[in-house]
Each structure stands twice: as C-alpha cells, then as structure tokens.
Chains A and B, each alone.
Chain A
C-alpha cells in the first residue's frame, strides 16, 4: 500500500508550469486556486487507508513535479467518490484534476497491467464485465430472462463498432491491445499443444 518517498529534497528553482497547463485542459481551470487547506485529504476515504494524498499531489503538480506525480502508484487509489470535489472551498475540482493527471500518466506509459486487461475487455467484448461464461447465461435464464441480453454480448456488429472507435482514437496502441491479443493467442496455442 505504500511507495518509497523521495529520499533527497527536490530542488525547485523555477516551477515548471507546463504540467499545470496540461491538467487544466481536462481537469478544469481552477487547480491554481488551491490554498492547501487539506479539506480534500481530510475527506478522502482512500487517503484514510493508503498513502494517497490529494493535497500533496495537487501541490506537487502546481510545482511542476510531473514525473513524480504521474509515476506514483498511489495515484490509482482514488475511487472517484467526489467527496473532495463537493467539499473543496476553492472549487479546485480535485477529482477531475486527479482524472486529468491519470490521463497524462497513461499517455506517458504509466498504466497497471490489470487496468490494461480491463480496457482490453471492452475492445474484445464491448463490455468491461463480459458475458464470458455459460454460467452467466444460465444465471440469466434462472431468473426468467433471455440467456443473452440485447446489448453487445449478442451483437458482434456492436463490438466491431467499438473496435473502429478504439483504433481511430489511438486507444488500442495506448493500452497495447495488439500485443495483449497476440500474447493471449500464443498462450492458447501452447495450452492446446500441451493438452
């Protein structure tokens, strides 16, 4: 749950403001309003049990410490509950700021393997939680529903539309979709050989 803190002091002669400008594009215009009151971290259920500190992340961001902010694993402990956003007296919109920082982290290659896999499921099946086993179809039938719902699970053309979107938007390469798909195919081949 913890990551090692920086051992030596970070020397900041002149704050680099380019990171803040990147954050403002999608995280809202008010990040520089932050006066470090700590209402966000005081309200944060993730901060109560991990080393995720919204206040610290925002302060570091304002000082331009981009690499330190985007590479920190604790960035991914925010559940986006928006309690900090509802309480922030300076209208910083901290949850939106965190999501903006996460977008920048992903764009620069910082993404957890489990998150890549979840993202790939949407590209593969149209759903992050897919109807991927017979058990789930039977479960539906047992409650009096048709085995396959009218969503993408029974409509391959819908999945094809998602793939066109994720190819065009660059999401496939962002999450390394092709590499993951090839690795999964290779694994299946090896398994078939053994079996």
Chain B
C-alpha cells in the first residue's frame, strides 16, 4: 500500500521517558518505522509534552501553552506529529483540540507564546504510533514484515488509558471493549491472553505516582495478580512508556514495598514488533529496561523465544 504513495513523514515527538529512561523504545521505533518506510523527522528543541495529568492538574493555561509550543515546531514544518507515549499523545492531542474549540484559551496561550515569537495556528494533526501503524501503514503491511512470528508466546496486554479515553472525544476505539491495540499486537504472532483487569489503569498517571508511590503500585499489583489468575503470561505489551516504567520498574518497587515478587518481561509495542520483524534484542537494547538493570537480571529469553 505504502510503496505506491509518497513516503509518509511524521514529526517524532520523543517526550521524556522514552529518550531519557527507556531508550530501547526509541531505538525499536526507529527500526520498525524504517522497515515500514515511514520517515521520522526530529523535533529539535521539543520539551516535555507537558504531562497531562500533572501539568493539566496544576494550571491548564500553562499546560496548554507548553503543549502548544511543541505543536508550533511541527506546524512550522507542515507535517503531522507522532509519539509513542499515551501521556504525550494525550497532552498534544487534547491541547490541539482544546485550542480549536476554546477561543479564550487560544487567546491566552498565544499571549504566552508571543513572548517567544511563536503562535499556535492549529494546522497539524497529532497521532500515536498505533495510529500510524494501523491507519497510515495498515495491518496487512505490518503483517508482511513479520519474519519471526512469536508463536507460542503468551501475551497479556495493557492498552493504558489516554490513547482511547475519553472515548467520546478521542473517537479511537470502544474503551470498554477495545480491539485496535489487540489486533496490532496480534500481528506479531503472539497469543493474546485475556485477563479481568486488562483495562484498569497502571496506577502511574494523574500525578499519583509522584503523590503516593505505594497507592500507585497497588494498582499495578492488582494487574499482575489478575494476569496470574488468568493463568499467567510470558510478556506484557503496552503502547506507553510511562505504563511500561510502572509495570517494569514497578515490579522491583512492589517487591520492596509489598514483598511480592513478579518477573514479567514488559515490552512496548514497538519492541514487540522489532522482535517480530526479525531484529535481535541487542539491536535495540531490550535488556536495558530498568527492571533488569536494578535486579541485575535479563529478559527471560526462553519465554520470549529469542536469544540474547
């Protein structure tokens, strides 16, 4: 499908957690998009999105101003944005939307942006990697690149919240019975494992991880327990690095705070696809996840069906 079209180009919004804590996701995303013929353009000087539940909870106008500044970087080049983070997606998408419908907010934001010689114009679209893979590239084309199907790997999913919610506004998927993220992950050949609490939040968002780590980890622990009740899984896949941090590093923190040990390998969907596309885990540094660095452990290669 893509070969007959001009090579699609997206401004690549990195955010904070992917480039600064889970660079394996950034590397995997670059490999996968390169394979698929999608060009990623650097957003030079982009900042924190800024975190929607954190900054959006503190001061809406400052939140929207910083988000709008990021949007202006892409507006200047005239290409849509894509990001691999549910939080960044929410901030940039929501700000883009709210600045379209709320004149008063747009006026105040542009007054702030005038200080730095910028103006929000509202000319570009904000997407998540999932949108690019499903809508721009297409699942058939993704499937065509799978040369190492992860057959027999039991995969639990954590779709997270902010890509598809609020449902009435985002109009992406049915947030009570989502299928898009599942269909994308299933192209890898891994076997989908349903569990009762698949759709509950990881616990990190809304500034809760910062406010009260134990409360936020209690959400995460519930998810792991729910996966165990469903017979366990070999991997957990998510489209968000903040969820990944909470589920990955969270296992170390849960052990410390609650004395319960979980040993799940947690992959971003781009890391899953990089493996399915035949890239070796060392090409994008799968073993640099903070869980492994802190525990001085490695991914459970035998469960993943790949070697280091």
Contact = CB atoms under 8 A, between A and B. Distances in A.
B203 interface: yes
A78 B66 contact: no
A161 B116 contact: yes
A49 B235 CA distance: 26
A129 B116 CA distance: 23
Nearest to B26: A145
B26 A149 contact: yes
A86 B55 contact: no
B105 to A, nearest CB: 9
B254 interface: no
A69 to B, nearest CB: 14
B124 interface: no
Interface in A84-130: 85-86, 93, 95, 99-100, 102-103, 106-107, 111-112, 114-115, 118-119, 122, 126-130
B308 interface: no
A192 interface: no
Interface residues of B, number: 68
A195 B58 CA distance: 37
Contacts of B283: 144
Interface of A: 1, 26, 45-46, 49-50, 76-83, 85-86, 93, 95, 99-100, 102-103, 106-107, 111-112, 114-115, 118-119, 122, 126-131, 136, 139-140, 142-145, 149-153, 155, 157-159, 161-162, 164-166, 168-171, 174-175
24 contacts: A49-B215, A79-B203, A80-B206, A81-B200, A81-B201, A81-B205, A82-B161, A86-B166, A99-B53, A99-B57, A103-B57, A103-B60, A114-B210, A115-B58, A118-B207, A128-B51, A142-B285, A143-B24, A145-B19, A162-B47, A164-B115, A165-B116, A168-B115, A170-B62
Given A81-B200, A169-B59, 10 more contacts: A76-B207, A79-B203, A81-B165, A82-B166, A106-B58, A119-B55, A143-B288, A150-B14, A150-B44, A168-B112
